[in-house]
Amino acid sequence: MSNDLLYLESIAEALERIRCYTQDGSASFRQSTLHQDGVIRNLIVLIHDDLRVNLEQVWETVDRDLPPLRLSIRSIIARESAG
């Protein structure tokens, strides 16, 4: 498969996902941060040509790296709020 065809297929996929996330209209979209995040992510794909997302790496980051980051950020917020 040529790079041009791969690029066009990725664009088509992002556009279809955006359509799915927004098919229930503006009010529904504005109430769902899940849909907002999905649309924003796919717009980034369209803008930045970020075609190769490794879902295994994404999950590893979510599972391993984000929990301690969340705790650290909450600790900093608590310390700054108290001081």
- Read off the pLDDT of each residue in 30-41 and give the average, rounded to a whole number: 94
72 SS3 class: helix
- Give the domain range for residue 47: 1-51
Query: What separation in angstroms does the CA of 28 have from each of 9, 10, 14, 24?
Result: 27, 26, 19, 6
Q: Domain check: are 44 and 58 in the same one?
A: no
Distances 22 to 14, 17, 18, 33, 78 between C-alpha atoms, Å? 12, 9, 6, 12, 37
- What is the predicted pLDDT for the residue at 45? 80
My answer on whether 5 and 34 are in the same domain is yes
pTM for this entry: 0.67
pLDDT band at 50 (very low <50, low <70, confident <90, very high): low
Together in a domain, 40 and 58? no
Q: Are residues 15 and 43 in the same domain?
A: yes
34 and 71 belong to one structural domain: no
Residues 59 and 73 in one domain: yes
Q: How many domains does the chain have?
A: 2
For residue 83, the model assigns a pLDDT of 77
Confidence of residue 26 (pLDDT cuts 50, 70, 90): very high
Q: Are residues 42 and 12 in the same domain?
A: yes
Residue 52 has pLDDT above 70, yes or no: no
Whether 65 and 58 have beta carbons less than 8 Å apart is answered as no
